[in-house]
Amino acid sequence: MTSDIDLHVGKRLRRRRRLLGLTQQSLAEEVGIRFQQIQKYECGANRVSAARLFELSEALSVPIQYFYEGLSEQEHSDGDVDTGVIAPDVLSKKETMDLVRAYYSMGEGPRKHLLDLAKSLETKSKPGLRLVAQ
Protein backbone atom coordinates (compact mmCIF):
# COMPACT_ATOMS: atom_id res chain seq x y z
CA MET A 1 0.00 0.00 0.00
CA THR A 2 1.41 3.34 -1.08
CA SER A 3 1.72 6.11 1.49
CA ASP A 4 2.08 9.85 0.93
CA ILE A 5 5.65 9.59 2.21
CA ASP A 6 6.50 6.91 -0.39
CA LEU A 7 5.07 9.15 -3.11
CA HIS A 8 7.03 12.14 -1.85
CA VAL A 9 10.32 10.21 -1.70
CA GLY A 10 9.67 8.90 -5.21
CA LYS A 11 9.04 12.40 -6.57
CA ARG A 12 12.23 13.68 -4.98
CA LEU A 13 14.15 10.73 -6.42
CA ARG A 14 12.79 11.46 -9.93
CA ARG A 15 13.49 15.19 -9.57
CA ARG A 16 17.13 14.69 -8.59
CA ARG A 17 17.72 12.00 -11.24
CA ARG A 18 16.33 14.26 -13.95
CA LEU A 19 18.24 17.28 -12.68
CA LEU A 20 21.45 15.31 -13.08
CA GLY A 21 20.36 14.14 -16.53
CA LEU A 22 20.43 10.47 -15.57
CA THR A 23 18.20 7.81 -17.06
CA GLN A 24 16.44 5.29 -14.87
CA GLN A 25 18.73 2.68 -16.41
CA SER A 26 21.94 4.51 -15.55
CA LEU A 27 20.84 5.16 -11.97
CA ALA A 28 19.76 1.54 -11.58
CA GLU A 29 23.14 0.31 -12.80
CA GLU A 30 24.88 2.65 -10.36
CA VAL A 31 23.11 1.06 -7.37
CA GLY A 32 22.98 -2.49 -8.76
CA ILE A 33 19.27 -2.93 -9.46
CA ARG A 34 17.01 -3.06 -12.53
CA PHE A 35 15.51 0.10 -13.99
CA GLN A 36 12.00 -1.22 -13.33
CA GLN A 37 12.75 -0.94 -9.61
CA ILE A 38 13.65 2.74 -10.05
CA GLN A 39 10.31 3.18 -11.86
CA LYS A 40 8.48 1.60 -8.94
CA TYR A 41 10.31 3.78 -6.42
CA GLU A 42 9.57 6.93 -8.41
CA CYS A 43 5.84 6.30 -8.64
CA GLY A 44 5.66 5.19 -5.00
CA ALA A 45 4.58 1.64 -5.84
CA ASN A 46 7.54 0.22 -3.89
CA ARG A 47 8.91 1.56 -0.64
CA VAL A 48 12.61 2.43 -0.59
CA SER A 49 14.48 0.61 2.18
CA ALA A 50 16.93 2.47 4.41
CA ALA A 51 19.91 0.71 2.81
CA ARG A 52 18.69 1.47 -0.73
CA LEU A 53 17.95 5.09 0.19
CA PHE A 54 21.54 5.42 1.38
CA GLU A 55 22.83 3.97 -1.93
CA LEU A 56 20.58 6.29 -3.93
CA SER A 57 21.68 9.33 -1.93
CA GLU A 58 25.32 8.44 -2.65
CA ALA A 59 24.64 7.88 -6.36
CA LEU A 60 22.74 11.17 -6.63
CA SER A 61 25.19 13.13 -4.43
CA VAL A 62 22.58 14.34 -1.94
CA PRO A 63 22.17 13.81 1.80
CA ILE A 64 19.46 11.31 2.78
CA GLN A 65 17.31 14.09 4.23
CA TYR A 66 16.97 15.52 0.69
CA PHE A 67 14.32 12.89 -0.01
CA TYR A 68 12.19 14.14 2.90
CA GLU A 69 12.57 17.89 2.33
CA GLY A 70 9.25 19.65 1.95
CA LEU A 71 7.29 16.73 3.40
CA SER A 72 5.98 18.58 6.45
CA GLU A 73 5.00 21.62 4.35
CA GLN A 74 3.16 19.31 1.95
CA GLU A 75 1.15 17.80 4.82
CA HIS A 76 0.08 21.25 6.03
CA SER A 77 -0.61 22.67 2.56
CA ASP A 78 -4.21 23.07 1.49
CA GLY A 79 -3.25 22.84 -2.18
CA ASP A 80 -4.52 26.34 -2.95
CA VAL A 81 -2.94 27.46 -6.22
CA ASP A 82 -3.96 31.11 -5.78
CA THR A 83 -1.61 31.71 -2.85
CA GLY A 84 1.11 32.99 -5.19
CA VAL A 85 3.37 29.99 -4.54
CA ILE A 86 4.52 27.73 -7.36
CA ALA A 87 3.92 24.05 -6.61
CA PRO A 88 7.10 22.21 -5.54
CA ASP A 89 6.56 19.51 -8.19
CA VAL A 90 7.22 22.09 -10.94
CA LEU A 91 10.90 21.16 -10.53
CA SER A 92 10.17 17.56 -11.51
CA LYS A 93 8.88 18.55 -14.96
CA LYS A 94 11.08 17.86 -17.97
CA GLU A 95 10.56 21.37 -19.34
CA THR A 96 11.86 22.91 -16.11
CA MET A 97 14.92 20.66 -16.07
CA ASP A 98 15.66 21.48 -19.73
CA LEU A 99 15.43 25.18 -18.90
CA VAL A 100 17.75 24.85 -15.90
CA ARG A 101 20.33 22.88 -17.92
CA ALA A 102 20.21 25.44 -20.76
CA TYR A 103 20.55 28.30 -18.27
CA TYR A 104 23.64 26.83 -16.64
CA SER A 105 25.24 25.99 -19.98
CA MET A 106 25.40 29.75 -20.72
CA GLY A 107 28.17 32.06 -19.65
CA GLU A 108 27.74 34.28 -16.60
CA GLY A 109 26.89 37.42 -18.63
CA PRO A 110 24.07 35.87 -20.68
CA ARG A 111 22.70 34.17 -17.54
CA LYS A 112 22.48 37.52 -15.75
CA HIS A 113 20.71 39.11 -18.73
CA LEU A 114 18.25 36.22 -18.98
CA LEU A 115 17.54 36.38 -15.25
CA ASP A 116 16.95 40.15 -15.45
CA LEU A 117 14.61 39.61 -18.40
CA ALA A 118 12.68 36.88 -16.58
CA LYS A 119 12.32 39.06 -13.49
CA SER A 120 11.02 41.99 -15.54
CA LEU A 121 8.47 39.75 -17.25
CA GLU A 122 7.47 38.17 -13.94
CA THR A 123 6.50 41.47 -12.34
CA LYS A 124 4.47 42.47 -15.42
CA SER A 125 2.56 39.20 -15.70
CA LYS A 126 1.88 38.05 -12.13
CA PRO A 127 2.97 40.28 -9.26
CA GLY A 128 3.50 38.46 -6.01
CA LEU A 129 4.23 35.06 -7.56
CA ARG A 130 7.18 33.41 -5.84
CA LEU A 131 8.91 30.05 -5.80
CA VAL A 132 9.10 28.29 -2.45
CA ALA A 133 12.73 27.38 -1.70
CA GLN A 134 13.34 23.73 -1.01
Do 106 and 50 reside in the same domain of the chain?
no
Do 88 and 22 reside in the same domain of the chain?
no
Q: What is the pTM of this model?
A: 0.61
Do 3 and 65 reside in the same domain of the chain?
yes
- Mean pLDDT, consecutive 10-residue stretches, the chain (134 aa), reads 90 93 96 97 95 97 93 57 54 79 88 88 61 47
Do 62 and 10 reside in the same domain of the chain?
yes
CATH number where 60 lies: 1.10.260.40
Taken in order 14, 18, 24, 27, is the CA torsion positive or negative?
Answer: negative
Do 65 and 111 reside in the same domain of the chain?
no
Strand partners, 88: none
Structural domain span for residue 130: 80-134
Do 55 and 10 reside in the same domain of the chain?
yes
